[in-house]
Chain A
Amino acid sequence: MDQGNIVICRCEEVTLKELIAAAETYRCSARELKLRTRAGMGCCGGRTCRRFIDMVARQATGEAPSHGIPLGYQPPVRPVAFGQLGGVIG
Protein backbone atom coordinates (compact mmCIF):
# COMPACT_ATOMS: atom_id res chain seq x y z
CA MET A 1 0.00 0.00 0.00
CA ASP A 2 1.05 3.56 -0.67
CA GLN A 3 2.68 4.81 2.52
CA GLY A 4 1.58 8.36 1.60
CA ASN A 5 -2.02 7.54 2.49
CA ILE A 6 -1.14 7.05 6.15
CA VAL A 7 -3.23 9.17 8.46
CA ILE A 8 -0.83 11.24 10.57
CA CYS A 9 -3.28 13.44 12.49
CA ARG A 10 -5.98 11.02 13.63
CA CYS A 11 -8.29 13.78 14.89
CA GLU A 12 -8.43 15.74 11.63
CA GLU A 13 -7.52 12.82 9.33
CA VAL A 14 -4.62 14.60 7.66
CA THR A 15 -2.43 12.23 5.65
CA LEU A 16 1.33 12.05 5.25
CA LYS A 17 0.89 12.88 1.57
CA GLU A 18 -1.00 16.09 2.38
CA LEU A 19 1.61 17.12 4.95
CA ILE A 20 4.54 16.44 2.62
CA ALA A 21 2.84 18.30 -0.25
CA ALA A 22 2.25 21.38 1.96
CA ALA A 23 5.77 21.19 3.44
CA GLU A 24 7.40 21.00 0.00
CA THR A 25 5.26 23.79 -1.43
CA TYR A 26 5.78 26.27 1.41
CA ARG A 27 9.08 25.09 3.05
CA CYS A 28 7.56 26.44 6.24
CA SER A 29 7.77 26.02 10.00
CA ALA A 30 5.95 23.22 11.82
CA ARG A 31 3.52 25.83 13.10
CA GLU A 32 2.67 27.07 9.62
CA LEU A 33 2.35 23.48 8.40
CA LYS A 34 -0.13 22.83 11.19
CA LEU A 35 -2.21 25.90 10.32
CA ARG A 36 -2.18 25.06 6.60
CA THR A 37 -3.22 21.42 6.95
CA ARG A 38 -5.11 21.46 10.29
CA ALA A 39 -2.87 18.58 11.40
CA GLY A 40 -2.48 18.80 15.17
CA MET A 41 -5.46 21.12 15.57
CA GLY A 42 -7.99 18.48 16.59
CA CYS A 43 -9.43 17.32 19.85
CA CYS A 44 -6.23 15.91 21.35
CA GLY A 45 -4.23 19.08 20.78
CA GLY A 46 -1.73 17.29 18.57
CA ARG A 47 -0.43 15.11 21.35
CA THR A 48 -0.06 12.07 19.09
CA CYS A 49 1.03 13.73 15.83
CA ARG A 50 2.96 16.90 16.74
CA ARG A 51 6.35 15.20 16.50
CA PHE A 52 5.49 13.93 13.01
CA ILE A 53 4.39 17.38 11.82
CA ASP A 54 7.71 18.67 13.08
CA MET A 55 9.64 15.85 11.35
CA VAL A 56 7.92 16.53 8.01
CA ALA A 57 8.57 20.28 8.30
CA ARG A 58 12.23 19.71 9.16
CA GLN A 59 12.72 17.21 6.34
CA ALA A 60 11.45 19.82 3.87
CA THR A 61 13.51 22.71 5.25
CA GLY A 62 16.58 20.69 6.26
CA GLU A 63 16.61 22.21 9.73
CA ALA A 64 18.07 20.33 12.71
CA PRO A 65 15.98 19.94 15.88
CA SER A 66 16.44 22.87 18.27
CA HIS A 67 16.19 23.17 22.05
CA GLY A 68 12.97 25.15 21.75
CA ILE A 69 9.68 23.24 21.45
CA PRO A 70 8.87 23.27 17.72
CA LEU A 71 5.11 23.52 18.06
CA GLY A 72 4.31 25.70 21.05
CA TYR A 73 1.70 24.67 23.57
CA GLN A 74 -1.19 26.93 24.49
CA PRO A 75 -3.58 26.37 27.35
CA PRO A 76 -5.86 24.57 27.74
CA VAL A 77 -3.63 21.52 27.25
CA ARG A 78 -6.72 19.37 27.78
CA PRO A 79 -10.08 20.08 26.11
CA VAL A 80 -12.39 21.60 28.71
CA ALA A 81 -16.04 22.61 28.63
CA PHE A 82 -16.65 26.33 27.99
CA GLY A 83 -18.33 26.57 31.40
CA GLN A 84 -15.10 25.53 33.04
CA LEU A 85 -12.90 28.16 31.41
CA GLY A 86 -12.50 31.22 33.52
CA GLY A 87 -14.75 29.92 36.25
CA VAL A 88 -13.16 29.58 39.66
CA ILE A 89 -14.81 26.55 41.19
CA GLY A 90 -12.62 25.83 44.17
Chain B
Amino acid sequence: MTDVLIVGAGPAGLSAAATCARHGLSVRVVDEFMKPGGRLLGQLHEEPDGTWWNGIEEARRLYEQAVGLGASVACGVSVYDAARGEEGWVVSTTEGILEAPVLLLATGAAETALPLPGWTIPGVMSIGAAQVMTNVHRVRVGERGVIIGVNILAVAIARELQLAGIHVDRMVLPPRNPVTQEAASPYHVMQSLLRVAHLAPSAFIRYGSRLVKSDPLLRLAVRCYPAGGVKMWRMPIHLRTAAVEILGTSKVEGVRLARVSPDGEPLPGTEHDIPADFVCIAGGLHPLAELAAVAGCPFAYLPELGGHVPLHNERMETPLAGLYVAGNITGIESAKVAMAQGAVAGLAIAEHLGRLRDRTALADAIAHVKRVRRSATIQFHPEIGRGRADVERMFQEQGISGK
Protein backbone atom coordinates (compact mmCIF):
# COMPACT_ATOMS: atom_id res chain seq x y z
CA MET B 1 0.00 0.00 0.00
CA THR B 2 1.36 3.38 -1.03
CA ASP B 3 0.81 6.19 1.49
CA VAL B 4 2.01 9.01 -0.73
CA LEU B 5 2.11 9.25 -4.50
CA ILE B 6 4.31 12.01 -5.89
CA VAL B 7 4.13 13.18 -9.51
CA GLY B 8 7.45 14.71 -10.54
CA ALA B 9 10.98 13.63 -9.57
CA GLY B 10 12.47 17.12 -9.58
CA PRO B 11 13.90 19.06 -6.63
CA ALA B 12 10.50 19.42 -4.90
CA GLY B 13 9.26 15.86 -5.52
CA LEU B 14 12.50 14.16 -4.48
CA SER B 15 12.90 16.30 -1.33
CA ALA B 16 9.32 15.55 -0.35
CA ALA B 17 9.86 11.84 -1.05
CA ALA B 18 12.91 11.73 1.22
CA THR B 19 11.08 13.60 3.98
CA CYS B 20 8.02 11.33 3.81
CA ALA B 21 10.17 8.18 3.72
CA ARG B 22 12.14 9.42 6.75
CA HIS B 23 8.84 9.52 8.64
CA GLY B 24 8.12 5.89 7.83
CA LEU B 25 5.69 6.49 4.98
CA SER B 26 5.56 4.33 1.88
CA VAL B 27 6.34 6.66 -1.03
CA ARG B 28 6.09 6.22 -4.76
CA VAL B 29 7.41 8.85 -7.19
CA VAL B 30 6.68 8.85 -10.93
CA ASP B 31 8.20 11.09 -13.60
CA GLU B 32 7.78 11.31 -17.34
CA PHE B 33 11.47 11.99 -18.09
CA MET B 34 13.88 9.06 -18.35
CA LYS B 35 16.12 10.35 -15.55
CA PRO B 36 15.24 11.68 -12.10
CA GLY B 37 16.04 15.32 -11.29
CA GLY B 38 13.53 17.33 -13.31
CA ARG B 39 14.79 20.71 -14.44
CA LEU B 40 17.71 20.43 -12.03
CA LEU B 41 19.30 18.24 -14.68
CA GLY B 42 20.32 21.02 -17.02
CA GLN B 43 21.35 23.61 -14.43
CA LEU B 44 24.99 24.66 -14.32
CA HIS B 45 26.12 28.01 -13.01
CA GLU B 46 28.76 29.67 -10.92
CA GLU B 47 27.60 30.85 -7.51
CA PRO B 48 28.62 34.29 -6.17
CA ASP B 49 31.17 32.51 -3.91
CA GLY B 50 32.88 30.95 -6.96
CA THR B 51 31.63 27.37 -6.47
CA TRP B 52 29.66 25.63 -9.24
CA TRP B 53 26.01 24.68 -8.92
CA ASN B 54 25.83 21.43 -10.88
CA GLY B 55 22.20 20.37 -11.19
CA ILE B 56 23.14 16.88 -12.35
CA GLU B 57 25.03 16.24 -9.11
CA GLU B 58 22.25 17.82 -7.02
CA ALA B 59 19.73 15.56 -8.76
CA ARG B 60 21.86 12.47 -8.09
CA ARG B 61 22.23 13.42 -4.42
CA LEU B 62 18.47 13.95 -3.98
CA TYR B 63 17.63 10.75 -5.85
CA GLU B 64 20.07 8.64 -3.84
CA GLN B 65 18.82 10.16 -0.60
CA ALA B 66 15.15 9.44 -1.42
CA VAL B 67 15.82 5.89 -2.65
CA GLY B 68 18.20 5.24 0.27
CA LEU B 69 15.37 6.07 2.66
CA GLY B 70 13.08 3.60 0.91
CA ALA B 71 11.12 5.69 -1.61
CA SER B 72 10.45 4.07 -4.98
CA VAL B 73 11.14 6.28 -8.01
CA ALA B 74 9.85 5.25 -11.45
CA CYS B 75 10.96 7.25 -14.50
CA GLY B 76 9.47 7.17 -18.00
CA VAL B 77 5.93 7.06 -16.59
CA SER B 78 3.38 9.63 -17.82
CA VAL B 79 0.39 10.61 -15.69
CA TYR B 80 -2.74 11.54 -17.61
CA ASP B 81 -5.48 11.85 -15.00
CA ALA B 82 -5.99 12.34 -11.27
CA ALA B 83 -9.36 12.06 -9.53
CA ARG B 84 -10.64 11.76 -5.98
CA GLY B 85 -11.92 8.23 -5.27
CA GLU B 86 -13.67 6.67 -2.26
CA GLU B 87 -10.47 6.02 -0.33
CA GLY B 88 -8.09 8.59 -1.74
CA TRP B 89 -6.57 9.70 -5.02
CA VAL B 90 -6.79 7.60 -8.16
CA VAL B 91 -4.06 8.43 -10.62
CA SER B 92 -3.98 7.12 -14.19
CA THR B 93 -0.52 6.50 -15.60
CA THR B 94 0.93 4.83 -18.67
CA GLU B 95 1.94 2.01 -16.28
CA GLY B 96 -1.57 1.57 -14.94
CA ILE B 97 -3.70 3.05 -12.19
CA LEU B 98 -2.10 4.00 -8.87
CA GLU B 99 -3.99 4.81 -5.68
CA ALA B 100 -2.90 6.58 -2.52
CA PRO B 101 -4.54 8.59 0.27
CA VAL B 102 -2.16 11.47 -0.41
CA LEU B 103 -1.15 12.89 -3.78
CA LEU B 104 1.61 15.47 -4.15
CA LEU B 105 1.84 17.28 -7.48
CA ALA B 106 5.40 18.46 -8.09
CA THR B 107 5.16 18.82 -11.85
CA GLY B 108 7.28 21.97 -12.09
CA ALA B 109 7.05 24.49 -14.88
CA ALA B 110 6.68 24.64 -18.63
CA GLU B 111 8.30 27.14 -20.96
CA THR B 112 6.35 29.99 -22.44
CA ALA B 113 6.73 30.31 -26.20
CA LEU B 114 7.17 33.51 -28.23
CA PRO B 115 5.53 32.83 -31.59
CA LEU B 116 7.08 34.52 -34.64
CA PRO B 117 7.17 33.74 -38.36
CA GLY B 118 9.34 30.66 -38.98
CA TRP B 119 9.28 29.29 -35.44
CA THR B 120 8.18 25.83 -36.61
CA ILE B 121 11.31 25.32 -38.75
CA PRO B 122 13.53 22.46 -37.51
CA GLY B 123 16.43 23.99 -35.59
CA VAL B 124 14.16 26.37 -33.66
CA MET B 125 13.73 25.14 -30.10
CA SER B 126 12.87 26.42 -26.67
CA ILE B 127 15.87 27.57 -24.67
CA GLY B 128 15.24 24.78 -22.17
CA ALA B 129 15.43 22.25 -25.00
CA ALA B 130 18.90 23.53 -25.86
CA GLN B 131 19.88 23.34 -22.19
CA VAL B 132 18.82 19.69 -21.88
CA MET B 133 20.40 18.74 -25.21
CA THR B 134 23.68 20.37 -24.18
CA ASN B 135 24.09 19.45 -20.52
CA VAL B 136 22.05 16.25 -20.19
CA HIS B 137 22.33 14.57 -23.60
CA ARG B 138 25.65 16.23 -24.47
CA VAL B 139 24.76 16.87 -28.12
CA ARG B 140 25.54 20.21 -29.80
CA VAL B 141 22.37 22.00 -30.93
CA GLY B 142 24.29 23.83 -33.66
CA GLU B 143 27.23 26.02 -34.50
CA ARG B 144 25.89 29.53 -34.41
CA GLY B 145 22.74 30.43 -32.57
CA VAL B 146 20.48 33.37 -31.91
CA ILE B 147 18.42 33.62 -28.75
CA ILE B 148 15.04 35.33 -29.11
CA GLY B 149 13.73 36.67 -25.83
CA VAL B 150 15.77 38.54 -23.20
CA ASN B 151 15.32 37.41 -19.60
CA ILE B 152 17.27 35.94 -16.72
CA LEU B 153 16.64 32.30 -17.72
CA ALA B 154 17.84 33.03 -21.26
CA VAL B 155 21.02 34.67 -19.99
CA ALA B 156 21.77 31.74 -17.64
CA ILE B 157 21.29 29.12 -20.36
CA ALA B 158 23.19 31.12 -22.98
CA ARG B 159 26.11 31.03 -20.59
CA GLU B 160 25.77 27.23 -20.34
CA LEU B 161 25.79 26.87 -24.13
CA GLN B 162 28.98 28.93 -24.27
CA LEU B 163 30.58 26.74 -21.59
CA ALA B 164 29.97 23.75 -23.85
CA GLY B 165 31.71 25.56 -26.71
CA ILE B 166 28.60 26.57 -28.64
CA HIS B 167 28.61 30.02 -30.20
CA VAL B 168 25.72 32.23 -29.19
CA ASP B 169 25.82 35.08 -31.68
CA ARG B 170 23.44 37.43 -29.91
CA MET B 171 20.28 37.76 -27.87
CA VAL B 172 17.44 39.84 -29.33
CA LEU B 173 13.82 40.69 -28.57
CA PRO B 174 10.87 38.86 -30.14
CA PRO B 175 8.77 40.84 -32.63
CA ARG B 176 5.90 42.85 -31.22
CA ASN B 177 2.63 41.03 -31.91
CA PRO B 178 -0.61 40.36 -30.01
CA VAL B 179 0.86 37.33 -28.21
CA THR B 180 4.40 38.45 -27.35
CA GLN B 181 3.33 41.63 -25.54
CA GLU B 182 5.74 42.75 -22.78
CA ALA B 183 8.50 40.35 -23.89
CA ALA B 184 8.74 42.51 -27.04
CA SER B 185 8.83 45.86 -25.23
CA PRO B 186 12.37 47.27 -24.77
CA TYR B 187 11.11 49.29 -21.81
CA HIS B 188 9.68 46.29 -19.92
CA VAL B 189 12.64 44.08 -20.72
CA MET B 190 15.11 46.78 -19.60
CA GLN B 191 13.19 47.15 -16.37
CA SER B 192 13.31 43.43 -15.59
CA LEU B 193 16.95 43.13 -16.67
CA LEU B 194 17.99 45.98 -14.38
CA ARG B 195 16.57 44.10 -11.42
CA VAL B 196 19.24 41.44 -11.86
CA ALA B 197 21.86 44.04 -12.75
CA HIS B 198 23.96 43.23 -9.69
CA LEU B 199 24.91 40.01 -11.50
CA ALA B 200 25.88 41.71 -14.75
CA PRO B 201 29.51 42.07 -15.73
CA SER B 202 28.56 45.08 -17.84
CA ALA B 203 29.19 48.55 -16.44
CA PHE B 204 26.39 49.97 -18.61
CA ILE B 205 23.81 47.71 -17.00
CA ARG B 206 25.25 48.09 -13.49
CA TYR B 207 25.13 51.89 -13.69
CA GLY B 208 21.76 51.63 -15.38
CA SER B 209 20.45 49.71 -12.41
CA ARG B 210 20.66 52.89 -10.33
CA LEU B 211 18.14 54.46 -12.71
CA VAL B 212 15.54 51.76 -12.27
CA LYS B 213 13.64 53.71 -9.63
CA SER B 214 13.28 56.74 -11.88
CA ASP B 215 10.92 56.16 -14.76
CA PRO B 216 12.03 59.10 -16.99
CA LEU B 217 15.66 58.00 -16.63
CA LEU B 218 14.75 54.42 -17.44
CA ARG B 219 13.00 55.61 -20.60
CA LEU B 220 16.08 57.65 -21.45
CA ALA B 221 18.27 54.56 -20.98
CA VAL B 222 16.04 52.60 -23.38
CA ARG B 223 16.24 55.41 -25.95
CA CYS B 224 20.02 55.54 -25.67
CA TYR B 225 20.57 51.77 -25.59
CA PRO B 226 23.57 51.08 -27.85
CA ALA B 227 22.65 49.95 -31.39
CA GLY B 228 25.24 47.19 -31.23
CA GLY B 229 23.78 45.83 -28.00
CA VAL B 230 25.56 45.57 -24.68
CA LYS B 231 28.10 42.80 -24.44
CA MET B 232 27.76 40.54 -21.42
CA TRP B 233 29.66 37.27 -21.18
CA ARG B 234 31.06 37.59 -24.73
CA MET B 235 27.55 37.92 -26.16
CA PRO B 236 25.77 41.08 -27.32
CA ILE B 237 22.37 41.59 -25.71
CA HIS B 238 20.09 43.72 -27.85
CA LEU B 239 17.13 45.62 -26.48
CA ARG B 240 16.46 47.77 -29.53
CA THR B 241 16.63 44.95 -32.10
CA ALA B 242 13.96 42.33 -32.66
CA ALA B 243 13.88 39.12 -34.68
CA VAL B 244 11.03 39.61 -37.15
CA GLU B 245 11.31 36.25 -38.92
CA ILE B 246 13.30 33.03 -38.73
CA LEU B 247 14.62 32.09 -42.18
CA GLY B 248 14.90 28.64 -43.79
CA THR B 249 12.68 25.87 -45.10
CA SER B 250 13.78 22.43 -43.91
CA LYS B 251 16.25 23.89 -41.41
CA VAL B 252 17.15 27.22 -39.86
CA GLU B 253 19.43 29.29 -42.10
CA GLY B 254 19.25 32.69 -40.50
CA VAL B 255 17.25 35.33 -38.70
CA ARG B 256 15.81 38.57 -40.09
CA LEU B 257 16.33 41.40 -37.63
CA ALA B 258 14.96 44.93 -37.45
CA ARG B 259 15.72 47.89 -35.21
CA VAL B 260 12.76 48.75 -33.01
CA SER B 261 11.48 51.91 -31.32
CA PRO B 262 11.54 52.15 -27.49
CA ASP B 263 8.00 50.70 -27.66
CA GLY B 264 9.08 47.72 -29.76
CA GLU B 265 7.71 48.98 -33.09
CA PRO B 266 9.97 47.89 -36.02
CA LEU B 267 11.68 50.86 -37.73
CA PRO B 268 11.10 50.79 -41.51
CA GLY B 269 14.17 50.18 -43.65
CA THR B 270 16.25 48.64 -40.84
CA GLU B 271 15.68 44.98 -41.71
CA HIS B 272 18.77 42.86 -42.19
CA ASP B 273 19.53 39.13 -42.20
CA ILE B 274 22.14 37.31 -40.15
CA PRO B 275 23.20 33.64 -40.52
CA ALA B 276 22.32 31.05 -37.83
CA ASP B 277 21.85 27.28 -37.78
CA PHE B 278 19.82 27.21 -34.58
CA VAL B 279 17.45 29.53 -32.72
CA CYS B 280 16.35 29.37 -29.10
CA ILE B 281 13.02 30.85 -28.02
CA ALA B 282 13.17 32.17 -24.46
CA GLY B 283 9.76 33.26 -23.19
CA GLY B 284 10.28 32.36 -19.52
CA LEU B 285 8.47 29.79 -17.40
CA HIS B 286 4.93 29.22 -16.12
CA PRO B 287 3.60 26.67 -13.61
CA LEU B 288 2.65 23.31 -15.14
CA ALA B 289 -0.58 22.65 -13.29
CA GLU B 290 -2.81 20.65 -15.63
CA LEU B 291 -3.12 17.71 -13.20
CA ALA B 292 -4.27 20.04 -10.43
CA ALA B 293 -6.90 21.35 -12.86
CA VAL B 294 -8.26 17.90 -13.80
CA ALA B 295 -8.22 16.97 -10.09
CA GLY B 296 -10.65 19.86 -9.53
CA CYS B 297 -8.34 22.15 -7.54
CA PRO B 298 -9.27 25.87 -7.48
CA PHE B 299 -6.71 28.24 -8.98
CA ALA B 300 -5.39 31.74 -8.45
CA TYR B 301 -4.11 34.01 -11.21
CA LEU B 302 -1.00 35.74 -9.86
CA PRO B 303 1.41 37.15 -12.45
CA GLU B 304 4.07 37.44 -9.71
CA LEU B 305 4.06 33.63 -9.46
CA GLY B 306 4.11 33.08 -13.23
CA GLY B 307 0.36 32.84 -14.00
CA HIS B 308 -2.29 30.40 -12.80
CA VAL B 309 -1.26 28.42 -9.72
CA PRO B 310 -3.26 25.84 -7.73
CA LEU B 311 -4.56 27.44 -4.55
CA HIS B 312 -2.37 26.34 -1.63
CA ASN B 313 -1.19 27.45 1.81
CA GLU B 314 2.30 27.67 3.25
CA ARG B 315 2.02 24.03 4.36
CA MET B 316 1.65 23.16 0.64
CA GLU B 317 -1.92 21.90 1.15
CA THR B 318 -4.51 22.61 -1.53
CA PRO B 319 -8.21 23.10 -0.66
CA LEU B 320 -8.77 19.44 -1.69
CA ALA B 321 -8.19 16.94 1.15
CA GLY B 322 -5.05 14.88 0.57
CA LEU B 323 -3.88 16.94 -2.41
CA TYR B 324 -0.57 18.75 -1.97
CA VAL B 325 1.62 20.83 -4.30
CA ALA B 326 5.30 21.85 -4.13
CA GLY B 327 7.93 23.41 -6.36
CA ASN B 328 7.36 25.47 -9.48
CA ILE B 329 3.73 24.34 -9.86
CA THR B 330 3.14 26.82 -6.99
CA GLY B 331 5.09 29.68 -8.62
CA ILE B 332 8.31 30.20 -10.55
CA GLU B 333 11.32 30.24 -8.23
CA SER B 334 14.76 28.64 -7.99
CA ALA B 335 15.44 24.93 -7.46
CA LYS B 336 16.60 25.71 -3.92
CA VAL B 337 13.17 27.11 -3.03
CA ALA B 338 11.58 24.04 -4.66
CA MET B 339 13.67 21.72 -2.46
CA ALA B 340 12.71 23.67 0.66
CA GLN B 341 9.02 23.52 -0.35
CA GLY B 342 9.34 19.77 -0.93
CA ALA B 343 10.58 19.34 2.63
CA VAL B 344 7.58 21.36 3.92
CA ALA B 345 5.16 19.24 1.88
CA GLY B 346 6.79 16.06 3.20
CA LEU B 347 6.41 17.19 6.82
CA ALA B 348 2.83 18.42 6.32
CA ILE B 349 1.95 15.06 4.76
CA ALA B 350 3.61 13.21 7.65
CA GLU B 351 1.54 15.26 10.07
CA HIS B 352 -1.66 14.66 8.07
CA LEU B 353 -1.01 10.90 8.22
CA GLY B 354 -0.18 10.99 11.93
CA ARG B 355 3.55 10.36 11.62
CA LEU B 356 5.01 13.70 12.72
CA ARG B 357 6.17 13.63 16.33
CA ASP B 358 8.10 16.90 16.28
CA ARG B 359 5.59 19.62 15.35
CA THR B 360 8.25 22.34 15.45
CA ALA B 361 9.95 20.72 12.44
CA LEU B 362 7.13 21.85 10.16
CA ALA B 363 7.21 25.46 11.38
CA ASP B 364 11.01 25.47 10.99
CA ALA B 365 10.74 24.12 7.44
CA ILE B 366 8.21 26.84 6.52
CA ALA B 367 10.56 29.49 7.93
CA HIS B 368 13.41 27.91 5.96
CA VAL B 369 11.50 28.36 2.66
CA LYS B 370 11.24 32.09 3.40
CA ARG B 371 14.93 32.32 4.25
CA VAL B 372 15.94 30.55 1.04
CA ARG B 373 13.64 32.87 -0.93
CA ARG B 374 15.16 35.98 0.64
CA SER B 375 18.75 34.87 0.02
CA ALA B 376 18.17 33.89 -3.62
CA THR B 377 20.57 35.71 -5.94
CA ILE B 378 18.04 35.58 -8.77
CA GLN B 379 14.39 36.43 -8.32
CA PHE B 380 12.33 35.40 -11.34
CA HIS B 381 9.82 38.05 -10.31
CA PRO B 382 10.65 40.98 -8.01
CA GLU B 383 7.26 40.82 -6.30
CA ILE B 384 7.40 37.10 -5.51
CA GLY B 385 6.78 37.80 -1.80
CA ARG B 386 3.58 39.69 -2.58
CA GLY B 387 2.37 36.82 -4.81
CA ARG B 388 3.06 34.34 -2.02
CA ALA B 389 1.13 36.48 0.47
CA ASP B 390 -1.81 36.81 -1.94
CA VAL B 391 -2.13 33.08 -2.53
CA GLU B 392 -1.99 32.42 1.24
CA ARG B 393 -4.75 34.99 1.84
CA MET B 394 -6.91 33.52 -0.95
CA PHE B 395 -6.42 30.05 0.51
CA GLN B 396 -7.48 31.18 3.98
CA GLU B 397 -10.65 32.70 2.51
CA GLN B 398 -11.46 29.46 0.72
CA GLY B 399 -10.60 26.90 3.45
CA ILE B 400 -10.10 23.17 3.03
CA SER B 401 -13.03 21.10 1.81
CA GLY B 402 -13.75 17.54 2.89
CA LYS B 403 -11.78 17.71 6.14
Contact = CB atoms under 8 A, between A and B. Distances in A.
Nearest to B310: A69
A1 B245 contact: yes
A88 B117 contact: no
B105 to A, nearest CB: 12
B364 to A, nearest CB: 31
Contacts of B117: 1-3, 5-6
Contacts of A1: 117, 244-245, 256
Contacts of B81: 75-77
Contacts, number: 97
Nearest to A65: B301
Contacts of B83: 75
A16 B95 contact: no
B56 interface: no
A16 B177 contact: yes
B293 A10 contact: no
A4 B113 CA distance: 16
A73 to B, nearest CB: 4
A61 interface: no
A84 to B, nearest CB: 6
Contacts of A2: 117
Interface string B48-85: 00000000000000000000000000000011110100
Contacts of A78: 32, 78-80, 94
A9 to B, nearest CB: 10
Q: Say which size band chain A's interface belongs to.
A: 35 or more
Nearest to A10: B120
Nearest to A8: B115
B97 interface: yes
Contacts of A68: 299
Q: Which of A7, A51, A77, A88 has the most CB of B within 10 A?
A: A77
A51 B180 CA distance: 11
B92 A75 contact: yes
Contact of A88 (B79, B80, B96, B178): B96
Contacts of B94: 78, 80, 84
B286 interface: yes
B321 interface: no
A62 interface: no
A73 B293 contact: yes
B112 A51 contact: yes
Q: What's the dominant secondary structure at chain A's contact region? A: loop
Contacts of A52: 113, 115, 179
B199 interface: no
Contacts of B211: none
A72 B120 CA distance: 26
B293 A72 contact: yes
Interface in A27-77: 45, 47-49, 51-52, 55-56, 59, 65-69, 72-77
Contacts of A67: 298-301, 308, 394
A48 to B, nearest CB: 5
Contacts of A10: 120
B16 to A, nearest CB: 21
A5 B194 CA distance: 33
Contacts of A88: 96-97
A45 B290 CA distance: 10
A20 B294 CA distance: 28
Nearest to B98: A90
Nearest to A90: B96
Contacts of A48: 113
Contacts of B394: 67
Contacts of B278: none
9 contacts: A16-B177, A16-B178, A51-B112, A67-B298, A68-B299, A73-B290, A87-B96, A90-B95, A90-B98
Q: Which 8 A-B pairs have the closest CB atoms?
A: A90-B96, A89-B96, A75-B81, A76-B80, A73-B293, A52-B179, A78-B80, A3-B177
Interface of B: 32, 78-81, 83, 92, 94-98, 110, 112-113, 115-117, 119-120, 175-179, 181, 244-245, 256, 286, 290-291, 293-294, 298-301, 307-308, 394
